[in-house]
Amino acid sequence: METTKRLQILNMNWPYFILAFVILNLALFFKFLPGSLAGVLPLLIVYGEAFRFIGDRIPIVKDYLGGGSIVVLFGTSAMVMYGLVPDDFAKTCKTFMTGTFINFALAALCCGSIFGMDRKLLIRAAIRYLPCIIGGFILAILFGGAAGLLFGNIFSETTLFISVPIMGGGTSAGAVPLSQMFGEIMQRDVGELLALMTPAVALGNAFAIIAAGLLDRLGKIHPWMTGNGHIMRDEGKQAESEEAKKEEPVTNLSVFAVGMTFAGIFLALGMLIQRFIPSIHAYAWMILLMIVVKVLGILPANIERYCALWFQFFIKNFTNTLLAGLGFGLISLSAVIPALTPSYVIIVAAVVLGAIVGAAVVGWFVGFYPIEAAITAGLCMANMGGSGDIATLGACKRMELMPFAAVSSRLGGALVLIAGSVILSFVL
């Protein structure tokens, strides 16, 4: 009884958490929950913590599949698929995530990660990263095409309609422009091509998230393969961010406001530049600006520190909330399940495996830890863009890798579009 009394969820004794959970769900189902931030965010917090608590106690899931993070994602998504939450709430979550919260989260994660990183290491890592993306892409094409041949598929069709869409950065930034480009060149219906690509993108995203949890487990079994969130291998176990590592108590809470403000400034500047150069996504511009400012030492050290502290605060308090929002609003199990034929599943798994192996091998040769390289340059190419990056890094508990993940999804995804058109020109 004493142990039960001490059990805490969300830093509160469990009866209070249950009470909060029940009240918020009553408000949801009887339709007096505000549809704004004031109502949605608390509900996402309690669902995120509830599923995290469950997932961290399921033996196989917690040891091999990412634990609570994976259960938060797929548990909330399953609730939507089986109608266990009102449709209006799922739509509200989708609007909330795509319209505001995901931008807010990505800005916080990227800003804190970059400004909390050592300047010299940042320069060296950035220069070595592109070869990892290319290595992952090439092996994803080869592995996927080879698996397709085993089931009697034409190599080029597997590449164009399964492998390339998976590696293309999601639906809106990958499958949609690919289907339009292929449709114009091949003179085929764009909707038909999009219908071919969408299941591959959705299933590839699910596999990338699961694979991230497995890679996290692999790192625990073979510690030499991972830097536990630090990508550069030749620094040993030295932290890439001495500032971000410090766990000094924060006595002045206004430092979080400073970090949040500068994250918003860089996001706004990224969106401004995208208006003039729309071919590159605002997130990519945001990251490039952060890197330039960090490398040139433009911001004072204390502001860089505040950005890193804001990042720490965010991942500690809102990671599961973010994953719950993705599950309710953006991760669609109903798009994955119809594609679960044995041959299709094996081909998609082969593509994701190729991305992992290619990025890990090249990453090792350029001085990265293979697991961190596989996650960022491999899995974050195979998932569904920004939301997929958060889900993937959440599953392997490496949110500090967000800048590299975002580069994969945005700049890497743009390179895949170019590669797709080149591959198609050779096929025709």
pLDDT confidence of residue 240 = 46
pLDDT confidence of residue 173 = 64
**Sign (positive/negative) of CA torsion 294, 126, 260, 271?**
positive
Residue 262: pLDDT band by 50, 70, 90 thresholds? very high
Within a domain: residue 84?
no
Query: For residue 46, which amino acid is it?
Result: V
For residue 183, which of 42, 98, 79, 175 has the smallest C-alpha distance?
A: 175
pLDDT confidence of residue 99 = 67
pLDDT confidence of residue 112 = 83
| Domain around 302 | 100-427
Please report, for residues 92, 168, 351, the alpha-carbon distance to residue 356 in angstroms, rounded to integers and kept in the order given: 34, 15, 9
The total number of structural domains that make up the chain? 1
Within a domain: residue 47?
no
Comparison of pLDDT for 211 and 414, the residue scoring more = 211
Within a domain: residue 420?
yes
Pairwise CA distance, residues 404 & 386, whole Å? 12
Q: What is the mean pLDDT of residues 42-51?
A: 93
pLDDT confidence of residue 249 = 58
Which structure tokens are listed for 335? 């798009």
Pairwise CA distance, residues 203 & 201, whole Å? 6
Pairwise CA distance, residues 304 & 244, whole Å? 10
pLDDT confidence of residue 251 = 60
pLDDT confidence of residue 350 = 97
Pairwise CA distance, residues 53 & 8, whole Å? 10
Q: What is the mean pLDDT of residues 64-92?
A: 85
Please report, for residues 17, 22, 77, 311, the alpha-carbon distance to residue 36 in angstroms, rounded to integers and kept in the order given: 22, 19, 21, 24
Within a domain: residue 40?
no
- Least confident residue range of 17-31, 273-287, 327-341: 327-341
Residue 366 has pLDDT above 70, yes or no: yes
Within a domain: residue 61?
no
- Least confident residue range of 41-45, 229-233, 258-262, 360-364: 229-233
Within a domain: residue 79?
no
pLDDT tens for residues 274-317? 899 887 778 778 888 998 999 899 999 999 999 989 988 888 88
Average pLDDT, the chain: 85
Q: What is the mean pLDDT of residues 141-155?
A: 95
Residue 241 has pLDDT above 60, yes or no: no
Pairwise CA distance, residues 221 & 218, whole Å? 5
Within a domain: residue 172?
yes
Comparison of pLDDT for 24 and 192, the residue scoring more = 24
Residue 231 has pLDDT above 60, yes or no: yes
Within a domain: residue 41?
no
